[in-house]
């Protein structure tokens, strides 16, 4: 049995197959998944699992070069949401910010979109794979 926090076999396989610059999206329950993009559906019920919980597990295996969020998820002062900032230093301190429509366009490039049970609007993050050397 694996020792890492990420036990979901399909998600672990996707991460293992990612190369430098590949995109993995972790999204709320309502984020549309474009046709042709792999969907990994973890949503069990409202709020289960949260984006933060999935993000924490994914970051146990994925080297992230940069992260992208929608402007609409930021606090009025421009601060990143708590589910993002709780993961620092595993994530870049400041994510790249796009409009929600631009974010949805970015999902077309993803190797997979992970659907969570998150019901917080715009609680989505695109993770761009880095390298460990």
15: buried, middle or exposed (CB in 10 Å: 19+, 13-18, 0-12)?
Answer: buried
8 is catalytic: no
Identify the active-site residue in 20, 38, 39, 71: 20
Complete edge-to-edge strand list for the sheet that includes strand 64-70: 38-41, 112-115, 23-27, 125-129, 64-70, 96-98
Which CA distances in Å does 15 have to 22, 60, 72, 98? 10, 10, 27, 24
Q: What phi-psi label fits residue 47: left (phi over 0), alpha (psi between -120 and 50 degrees) or beta? A: left
Q: State the pairing for strand pair 125-129/23-27.
A: antiparallel
Residues annotated as part of the active site: 20
């Amino acid at each position: 049995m694996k020792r890492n926090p990420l036990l979901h076999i399909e998600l672990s396989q996707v991460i293992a197959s990612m190369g430098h610059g590949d995109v993995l999206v972790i999204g709320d329950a309502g984020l549309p998944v474009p046709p042709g993009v792999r969907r990994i559906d973890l949503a069990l019920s409202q709020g289960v699992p949260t984006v933060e919980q999935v993000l924490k597990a994914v970051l146990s295996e994925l080297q992230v070069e940069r992260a992208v969020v929608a402007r609409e998820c930021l606090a009025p002062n421009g601060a990143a949401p708590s589910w993002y900032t709780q993961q620092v230093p595993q994530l870049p301190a400041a994510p790249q910010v796009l409009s929600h429509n631009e974010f949805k366009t970015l999902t077309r490039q993803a190797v997979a979109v992970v659907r969570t049970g998150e019901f917080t609007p715009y609680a989505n993050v695109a993770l761009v794979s880095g390298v460990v050397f």
